[in-house]
Amino acid sequence: MPFREGPLGDLKVPLTWTAAVALIVAAVIAVAFLLADRRETLQEQAYGVTRQTVDVVAKPVSGAIAAPGRWTGLGLDFVRSYFFTASENRRLKSELAEMRQWRDRALDLQDQNERFKSLLGLRTDPPIPMASARVVADSRGPFANTRLADAGSERGIEVGNPVLNERGLVGRVVGVSRGASRVLLLTDIASRTPVMIDRTNARAILTGDGGPNPKLEYLRGVDPIQQGDRVVTSGDGGVVPRGLPVGAAVKGLDGRWRVVLFADQSSIDYIRILLFKDFAQLADEKQLEAKTLPPVTTEDPQTSILSAPTPPAPKPAATTTPPSAATATPPAGAQPKPATPKPAAPKPAQPKPATAATPVPTGSPR
Amino acid sequence: MSMSGGRALNPARWLGVPMLLCIFATMLFAAPIRIWGLQLPEPVFAMVPAFAWAMIRPSILAPFALLILGLFLDIFWGGPTGLWGLSLLVAYAMVLILRNAMTGQSRPMMWAWFAGVTAVAMIAGFLFTMLDSLAMPSLLAVFWQFLVTALLFPFAHRLVDRFEDADVRFR
């Protein structure tokens, strides 16, 4: 039976009031969504199933919408290259002549670098694998700066992976689904990236604010930065590898140091996602949580360090006397013992666990 | 007089179709295209129905349609969930309250009202973002988005004109 023909059919409720109630209910739902949102944590769990589903659906649709624009750009590039081939050829020749000098210099430095590394026995970082992807959607508003890329979990991409284009760092992956991944740009208000000034090694945090030039916050050191200084990732915290190019420092109109991003100087439709895992992810947490420490099997530190002759008959009181300042200072808890091995000699009364955990100390006081 | 003039307005026509058009326009302007080094602007197309729906008539469904539209914007743009839903509802509520003052005004005056309502929505978004992210968004970026959104008034005017007198109960 239709509602209008029932006993409540004559009930007249002013539409304005019901509309107001509906508005309030909708607003309460929106507030609940906003309070429950954990986007700023940038954790994998915060990127829910709804967002993943929308990304999966939006990828082909946005890809189809963006395709005509991409084809038009390719066509214009073709026409431009046809008409400007001669001037481009001249420019490329001069650039090649300059680059040849840089190539020789780079090869020289590489050779020198390899020799230094072998001399010092340095362990360098392993090469990081990467996945290329195409951007199909790009949001540029003041409250969200993200991109949707057409490669996802099937390519090994994970939340936290850094993203670059051919010029520099773009951002990092905050959400992954099958066939699509969401990239949080450096300019997003939730983005925080540890960086350093290449010239001075001064550390800072690159903080997005929705504008094109993110801010440099917590800049440390005396006179740490100048106009035009190159800014690279510091690798602190293990989120991104060290040394990725980010941009150039500029003084903003508000008097704060900002960064002109290198990534903005090139096209935005292709990106490279570094399949980089930070050190915290690589470490086996279960092993780190081991309760028992491994046994000390090193040589007796007293015999190796305190090689000077010791009194022939140590008294029990000697174990409690502090070592002389003139001699090499043993670590705390390690008391001087006779140099000759004596099974019956009294051991230090209470060896501290810290001594066992620390490496073999050197003779020089620190 | 035709019979259709006396019927109630079909929600699919005045709510559903504009909503779908907004979603399509939002996706269209999210295309990663650069023209002479400049990216496309990013207007908030959902401001058009937020303004027009409240002007056309009070409705129970319209706030929920706006909420869905706002949630889509948040998820598609990758912003905090609920941010645009709440901001659009603030704008909608403002128009609903001031509806009697706005009705019958000239086109330039209505444009000014639309810009004012858009400014309120942007300020609401600014404040909600500050509360959510504990950081201040760039005022310049907010202003640019406000400017390109305020230019959408002709679409809102068209929507209001199309459906203002469509429901005889609200003439």
Helix (H) or strand (E) holding A195: strand A192-197
pLDDT band at A48 (very low <50, low <70, confident <90, very high): confident
Query: Which of B60, B89, B144 is closest, CB to CB, to A30?
Result: B89
Tell me whether residues B67 and A30 touch, CB distance under 8 A. yes
- Mean per-residue pLDDT for B124-129? 93
Torsion angle (degrees, nearest 10) of CA B143, B22, B56, B142: -10
Helix (H) or strand (E) holding A99: helix A85-120
Tell me whether residues B31 and A137 touch, CB distance under 8 A. yes
- Rounded CA-CA distance A131/A129 in Å is 7
Determine contact: A280 vs chain B, CB below 8 A.
no
Higher pLDDT, A145 or A355: A145
Number of A to B CB contacts under 8 A, please give it.
Answer: 185
Summarised one tens digit per residue, pLDDT across range B131-160 is 888 888 999 999 999 999 999 999 999 999
Helix (H) or strand (E) holding B74: helix B61-77
Chosen for mutation from A3, A76, A143 (greatest number of chain B CBs closer than 10 Å) is A143
Percentage above 90 pLDDT, chain B: 60
Summarised one tens digit per residue, pLDDT across range A288-324 is 666 666 666 655 555 555 555 555 555 444 444 444 4
Per the CB < 8 A criterion, the answer to whether B141 and B125 are in contact is: no
pLDDT at A122: 76
User: Does pLDDT of A166 surpass 60?
Assistant: yes
Tell me whether residues B96 and A20 touch, CB distance under 8 A. yes
- A115-124, A244-253, A267-276, range with greatest mean pLDDT: A244-253
pLDDT at A360: 36
Tell me whether residues B85 and A30 touch, CB distance under 8 A. yes
User: Does pLDDT of A352 surpass 70?
Assistant: no
pLDDT at B170: 56
Tell me, rounded to whole angstroms, the distance of Cα B125 from its chain centroid. 13
- Rounded CA-CA distance A213/A247 in Å is 10
Tell me whether residues B60 and A37 touch, CB distance under 8 A. no
pLDDT at A315: 47
- Mean per-residue pLDDT for A145-152? 91
Tell me whether residues A142 and B61 touch, CB distance under 8 A. no
A178: Cα within 13 Å, side-chain hemisphere: 3
For residue B136, the chain A residues in CB contact (below 8 A) are 209
Summarised one tens digit per residue, pLDDT across range A82-139 is 888 888 899 999 999 999 999 999 999 999 998 988 888 877 777 788 899 999 998 8
For residue A33, the chain B residues in CB contact (below 8 A) are 71, 81-82, 85
Higher pLDDT, A297 or A3: A297
Kindly state the tokens that stand for A230.
Answer: 């190159």
Summarised one tens digit per residue, pLDDT across range B75-124 is 999 888 999 999 999 999 999 999 888 888 889 999 999 999 999 999 99
pLDDT band at A284 (very low <50, low <70, confident <90, very high): low
Determine contact: B141 vs chain A, CB below 8 A.
yes
Burial class (CB in 10 A: 0-12, 13-18, 19+), A248: middle
Query: Which of A20, A30, A209 is closest, CB to CB, to B135?
Result: A209
Determine contact: A215 vs chain B, CB below 8 A.
no
pLDDT at B41: 86
pLDDT at B8: 65
Tell me whether residues A26 and B66 touch, CB distance under 8 A. yes
Summarised one tens digit per residue, pLDDT across range B58-67 is 889 999 999 9
* CA A62 to each of CA A48, A171, A208, A279: distance values in angstroms, whole numbers, following the listed order: 20, 20, 25, 35
Query: Which of A34, A142, A267 is closest, CB to CB, to B132?
Result: A34
Nearest CA to A198 out of A234, A161, A150 is that of A234
Percentage above 90 pLDDT, chain A: 31
What chain A holds in terms of domains, given with CATH numbers, is 14-99 (no CATH), 130-281 (2.40.10.340)
Alpha-carbon radius of gyration of chain A: 32
ipTM: 0.86
Tell me whether residues B85 and A18 touch, CB distance under 8 A. no
